[in-house]
Amino acid sequence: MEKSKVYFTKEITPESLIKIYETLGVELDGNVGIKISTGEKGSINYLKPELIGDLVNKLNGTIIECNTAYPGKRNTVEDHMKVAEEHGFTTIGKGVDIMDGPGEFKIPVKNGKHLEYDIIGENFKKYDSILNLAHGKGHAMGGFGANLKNQSIGIASRNGKAYIHACGHTDDPNKCWSDNHEQIHFIESMAEAAKAVSDYCKDTNKKIIYITVMNNISVDCDCDAHQGKPVMGDLGIIGSLDPVANDQAFIDMLWNSTDPGHVKMMERVDRQEGRHITEYAEELGLGSTEYELIEI
């Protein structure tokens, strides 16, 4: 079986980001949604409009997001849009769409152990093509965040995020944080939700591609209002048609790095059993952990 292709560049510039996109060979057309994290108010390492703006404009895309389940400055549409504006995202492409503003809908989870369905933002239906544009970094609950997290927690509505965090036990944002479950079940729930989105895209003929920018790498996620400074140097940009391969490549680059700070990243990932997400996503049929890394 042919290995998945992961394209890589050490350069992190607007031009290299466009080059990665073009190398993937899939033209995102129609109404294009670009899924990023807009970053919690107070975070510092989210992908900046100065980096991604040229690609967003090239695609005439809309930044797409959903509200958070945790209390903060992005758990309502009004507050979320304020943060998105402060972070500069309303000035690129066609602006920002908080997809669960008008509502949410359920999509099936096939062969899941924890989730019966995924709950995603209503406006996801509007988009013909999706660019899953992730920032590679650590995460307090998931160990790390890249394309799989961006597709699961990221595309889920506020209630959907609660449902994933509670491993299918509740979709109430006020109750999900007190749910008693094993950590590995949360990791698997994220993989199941990511697979559900992939299946929905296939069933509705939506194109979807995956890019991860590995810069400003901190142990904390962009959803952390008190996000710490980067703990290691930038690694570059990777892109693939396979989200499992792309996430696996990010993990492998962290592990193979000679930067002393990579130890902190490895500790954060393994503390939360984060590496399990790629092997379980592969088991679900979402992609492959076997890949060919092609430097461009």
pTM over 0.75: yes
Name, in order, each residue with C-beta under 8 angstroms of 168's C-beta and a sequence gap of 6 or more.
112, 114, 115, 116, 189
- Residue 212: C-alpha distances to residues 19, 20, 83, 109 (Å): 13, 10, 22, 25
Q: How far apart are CA 158 and CA 167, in angstroms?
A: 14
Distance CA 255, CA 16 (A): 24
Residue type for position 10:
K
Please provide residue 124's backbone torsions phi and psi, each rounded to the nearest 5 degrees: -60, -25
The whole-number pLDDT of residue 1 equals 65
254-270 pLDDT, tens per residue? 999 999 999 999 999 99
Model confidence pLDDT, tens digit, residues 170-183:
999 999 999 889 99
Q: What is the pLDDT of residues 138-147, one digit of tens each?
A: 999 999 999 9
- Give the chain's radius of gyration (CA, Å): 17
pLDDT confidence of residue 225: 86
The CATH architecture annotation of domain 4-295 reads: 3-Layer(aba) Sandwich (3.40)
Distance CA 278, CA 291 (A): 12
| Segment 168-222, tens digit of pLDDT | 999 999 999 998 899 999 999 999 999 999 999 999 999 999 999 999 999 999 9
Q: Say how far apart CA 178 and CA 146 lie, in whole Å.
A: 25
Please report the pLDDT score of residue 134 as a whole number. Answer: 98
Tens digit of each residue's pLDDT (9 = 90 or more) over 31-61: 999 999 999 999 999 999 999 999 999 999 9
- Mean pLDDT calculated for residue range 18-25: 98
- Give how far Cα 134 sits from Cα of 78, 106, 206, 272, Å: 24, 23, 18, 19
